Chains A and B, each alone.
Chain A
Amino acid sequence: MKATDTSSPDYFHKVVDCQYACPAHTPVPEYIRKIAAGQYADAYMINWKSNVFPGVLGRTCDRPCEPACRRGRVEEEPVAICRLKRVAADNKGDITARLPSIAPRNGKKIACVGAGPASMTVARDLAPLGYEVHVYDGEAKAGGFIRTQIPRFRLPEEVIDEEVGYITALGPVMRLGERVDSLKGLLAKDYDAIFVGCGAPRGRDLDIPGRQEGAGNIHIGIDWLSNVSFGHITRIGKRVIVLGGGNTAMDCCRTARRLGGQDVKVVVRSGFDEMKASPWEKEDAMHEDIPILNFLVPKEFLHKNGKLTGVVFEKVAPKYDDKGRRSLVPTGEPDQHIACDDVLVAVGQENAFPWIERDAGLDFDKWDMPVVSEKTMQSTNPKVFFGGDAAFGPKNIIWAVAHGHEAAVSIEKFLSGLDVEDRPPPDVDIDSQKMGIHEWSYDNNIANDLRYKVPLQDKSIALKSVKTEVELGFDSELGFKEAQRCLNCDVQTVFNAPACIECDACVDICPTDCITFTENGEESDLRQRLKAPALNLSQDIYVSDTLPTGRIMAKDEDVCLHCGLCAERCPTGAWDMQKTIINITHAGSTCRSR
């Protein structure tokens, strides 16, 4: 293998698994250290800069960081990164003085369609730079999906108001209650760029017999949830069936439990393990006495005298062909009949752009979706950019934020006459953490604690109102303990081959057998010859230049605890612990100059 080039910003970024996995690349270990130090406002601002809605995301994020967390590979469970974010948000105090100052208007105007997380991110990035950003939304309050779809028991409205408020304070023109119904109309106005962040507003229906007759008690999940959010719906029948296995289905069933549903069931076509809902959302639902029945395909809605009485399901089993593809085949058992009063259909969402004229200068693909660049978020009309669910179908808030940042960079470049395709590299800062012979500026004693559970509101109280928040959040003490579980993966082990005397001290001390001195070879061969075979191919092998004995140092990054013992026990300082702070470049002067 060739010696590893650690000067490439991606090498060390990849080692910080959580940050690498996060669509917005939030510097997770850095803010977790701030939480442990009680510097909540600092921790909050690191988040705010990167993911815009720390309080919202600290309760609702899909947490791509957690499955990636290195702790999950050396112990049972990852660090509760998401809920630690909430600790920062809950305890930060007043941060208004830390918000960016607003530059004088630069004369350029941008329209954002929809006031959801993607559009609000664009507004936050561009409004302080002097752009006149107009945010359109049909609703009376900004927030989009965050406000209409996520039940209040998971996300209180005050949190939304606060974090949307930080953005509106930066001077975007909020054109609420103005629904955009024609892109051509918008293009005809004097906007220099248009950002479409209108979400994926249409819930998929289930067209099976009885759908028309039972219509009065069959509801589309996302529409029903927003009606609950707005207070238009306050009751549901005692027996409720929720069809679908995604996070929307989980929100539906839990909401139903709070609106009078006593016997609420979730029924999914596929297997329990293959459900799209996050494991913790399934857990939360089951905790509220909601059974999840799997391998049942809805066949017919039953009705009597114009009223829904139940649903008939066909029993299926998974069958795999020789290519490993799964199909669901009927088992031949008698159909299952489940009686109910109401059905909530949460079988997916689809994007619909009835308001975009097909001759507005945008190409649409074969699925009737606008063609959007994943890199630049630009459509085939250079003035029009997309983000959030509107861009590539339903994802989640953190993706919407990431899209918003990228689109803001593109818009900034586009309006400055620069090449949109030329993306700015991240800002990387790397610093030794050594302060003395045995002193390091980070806490490198690894806590042995297992993951702490977030305290919950008592179930009997929680189920009484749709507005009672279920999760109470970590308090400062629990937050500190959970923060201490973080392995500080951003404090990198950096090897300087010329200083090494090959004494083996690092090999002997490494608690996770990461380091090997051996003859060089091809990666596949080398991976087998390390002190512990490096079987996780998604993790890199850090390889040094050839040493005096003709060997190389090879370090498997996979389960390194970043405890610093290699550097601590190195007699010559060949190993050093260096902190890499990687910040994705957002819109602003640096994105233009780089």
Chain B
Amino acid sequence: MTYILKPKLHHPELPTNALGLTRRDYEGRISTLCAGCGHDSISAAIVQACFELDIAPHRLAKMSGIGCSSKTPDYFLGQSHGFNSVHGRMPSVLTGANLANRDLIYLGVSGDGDSASIGLGQFAHSIRRGVNMCYIVENNGVYGLTKGQFSATSDKGSKSKRGVENTESGIDLVALALQLGATYVGRSFSGDKAQLVPLIKGALSHHGPAVLDIVSPCVAFNNHAGSTKSFDYVRAHNEAVNRLDVILGRTPITADYEPGTVTEVTQHDGSKLRLRKLDDGYDATDLVGAMHYLQMHHAKGEVVTGLLYVDPDATDLHDRLGTTDVALNRLGTRELSPGAAALAKINAGLR
């Protein structure tokens, strides 16, 4: 682990965002993960995305479970709220927090063990319910913290560091999320920040359950020949369907693209997702098409990346339950204790 403190000094030309903060203000403590871990790149991408979105650090809550991935919230957004929950239980804690205070932005950070094994049920139900969140799975296909056993997302036929072949089927979290009703689904690679940062920005500004499956090579236990989650494998088999630009409401749109190559999706908060197609036939608003495309390419051993599905008319748990518009901590005595008459009315409704 690294004992050197990251110096406070920064590049003199470091830009500031609308809040007057620099990217460095969104950092956390120095990582204690192995040197070269893909997760650190994802942390850096989260930092960059939050900086670019002008998110006030105290308006974001980062939630995680257990595992290498779930340690990372310590390494970004040092001034945000955080909750490091029990193994696999991050989605429940996040759901509860979201119900109590719908005004915060919720960022769930999990791994393949936390989400696809012990927490698979929680993963599924938080998506089903439509919790407004950005759920990031830092997927390295291996139990790094316990020295390299296959995880539930390891592909069948892939090899461990010691050369043992995986005989069990891997869970495809993207396919699962699409089936479960996630309204923003993407896959990316920790080694491609140009793709990753806009995907995170889109997910953070999306209104509804947004799931990002990010392949993140484990340099210590899953970056060898025979692995399907290594830097080399993902680089060789990366099949990006589109490139995303997230356009904030106030940014004028100036770039010109050839007609037919760009799709624009306006999100709930007014932000625009501009998708530059890399695969002509791919339509990111077509759920069935997306599921089909994914399966087809998965069968060929390819890793499909990009914004795979987005529903611009997404709703969330609050919309469906008809909850109060404001965070519970902002409700006054009058709203919380409406008096005997209101109580009598409720009781009458239950008789």
Contact = CB atoms under 8 A, between A and B. Distances in A.
B2 A568 contact: yes
Band of interface residues on A? 35 or more
Contact of A505 (B5, B40, B223): B40
Contacts of B232: 548
B3 A438 contact: yes
A235 to B, nearest CB: 50
B41 A503 contact: yes
Contacts of A532: 11, 13-14
A448 B41 contact: no
Interface string B257-278: 0000000000000000000000
Interface stretch (B30-38, B53-61, B92-100, B294-302): B30-38
Given A503-B217, A505-B40, A508-B43, A569 B11 contact: no
A446 interface: yes
Given A504-B191, A508-B41, A512-B10, A563 B4 contact: yes
A33 to B, nearest CB: 16
Given A503-B217, A565-B4, A511 B41 contact: no
B9 interface: yes
Interface in B32-81: 34-38, 40-41, 43-44
A445 B217 CA distance: 29
A572 B8 CA distance: 26
A165 to B, nearest CB: 42
B252 interface: no
B235 A549 contact: yes
B66 to A, nearest CB: 23
Question: Looking at chain A's contact residues, is the secondary structure mostly helix, strand, loop, or mixed?
Answer: loop
A496 to B, nearest CB: 15
Given A444-B4, A446-B7, A512-B9, A502 B191 contact: yes
Given A503-B191, A503-B217, A505-B40, A446 B9 contact: yes
Contact of A503 (B4, B8, B31, B231): B231
Nearest to B230: A501
A399 to B, nearest CB: 30
Contacts of A512: 7, 9-11
Contacts of B9: 74-75, 446, 448, 511-512, 561
Interface residues of B, number: 36
B102 interface: no
A217 B42 CA distance: 76
A444 B30 CA distance: 15
A290 interface: no
B36 A503 contact: yes
Interface string B311-338: 0000000000000000000000000000
Nearest to A567: B35
A180 interface: no
Nearest to A73: B12
A513 B9 CA distance: 11
Of B10, B37, B193, most A-chain CB atoms within 10 Å:
B10
B162 interface: no
A186 interface: no
B345 interface: no
Given A503-B41, A504-B191, A505-B36, A568 B219 contact: no
B342 interface: no
A570 interface: yes
A446 B9 CA distance: 8
Nearest to B9: A74
Interface in A480-511: 501-505, 507-509, 511
A532 B163 CA distance: 42
A75 B8 CA distance: 10
Contacts, number: 104
Contacts of B1: 438
A533 B12 CA distance: 11
B11 A513 contact: yes
A77 to B, nearest CB: 13
Contacts of B6: 509, 511, 563, 565
Nearest to A572: B36
Contact of A501 (B5, B43, B223): B223
A352 B24 CA distance: 58
Contacts of A509: 6, 30-31, 40
A505 B3 CA distance: 16
A511 B2 CA distance: 14
A535 interface: yes
A505 B35 contact: yes
Contacts of A75: 9
B35 A571 contact: yes
A148 to B, nearest CB: 43
A565 B2 CA distance: 8
B224 to A, nearest CB: 11
A588 to B, nearest CB: 40
B41 A438 contact: no
A147 to B, nearest CB: 42
A74 B219 CA distance: 33
Nearest to A570: B35
Contact of A504 (B3, B8, B24, B41): B41
A502 B231 contact: yes
B7 A561 contact: yes
Contacts of B5: 445-446
Contacts of B36: 501, 503, 505, 569-572
A284 B44 CA distance: 47
A559 interface: yes
A29 interface: no
Interface in A58-95: 73-75
A564 interface: yes
Contacts of B231: 501-503
Given A503-B36, A505-B35, A533-B13, A571 B4 contact: no
Interface in B178-201: 190-191, 193
Given A501-B219, A502-B191, A532-B13, A564 B4 contact: yes
A511 B4 contact: no
Contacts of B235: 549
Contacts of B220: 571
Nearest to B44: A508
Nearest to B220: A571
A92 B231 CA distance: 54
A73 B9 CA distance: 10
A533 to B, nearest CB: 7
Contact of A569 (B2, B24, B43): B2
A548 B37 CA distance: 19
Contacts of B43: 508
Q: Which of A507, A509, A561 has the most CB of B within 10 A?
A: A509
A535 B11 CA distance: 12
Nearest to A439: B3
Nearest to A534: B13
Contacts of A569: 2, 31, 35-36, 40
A570 B219 CA distance: 11
Closest 9 A/B residue pairs (Cβ): A571-B36, A446-B7, A508-B44, A503-B36, A571-B35, A571-B219, A505-B36, A513-B11, A74-B9
Interface of B: 1-14, 24, 30-31, 34-38, 40-41, 43-44, 190-191, 193, 217, 219-220, 223, 231-232, 235
Given A505-B37, A548-B232, A561-B7, 19 more contacts: A74-B10, A74-B11, A74-B12, A445-B7, A446-B7, A446-B8, A501-B223, A503-B37, A503-B219, A504-B40, A508-B41, A508-B43, A511-B6, A511-B7, A512-B10, A513-B11, A564-B4, A568-B4, A570-B36
14 contacts: A446-B5, A448-B7, A503-B36, A503-B38, A503-B231, A504-B193, A508-B44, A509-B30, A511-B9, A512-B10, A533-B13, A559-B11, A569-B35, A571-B220
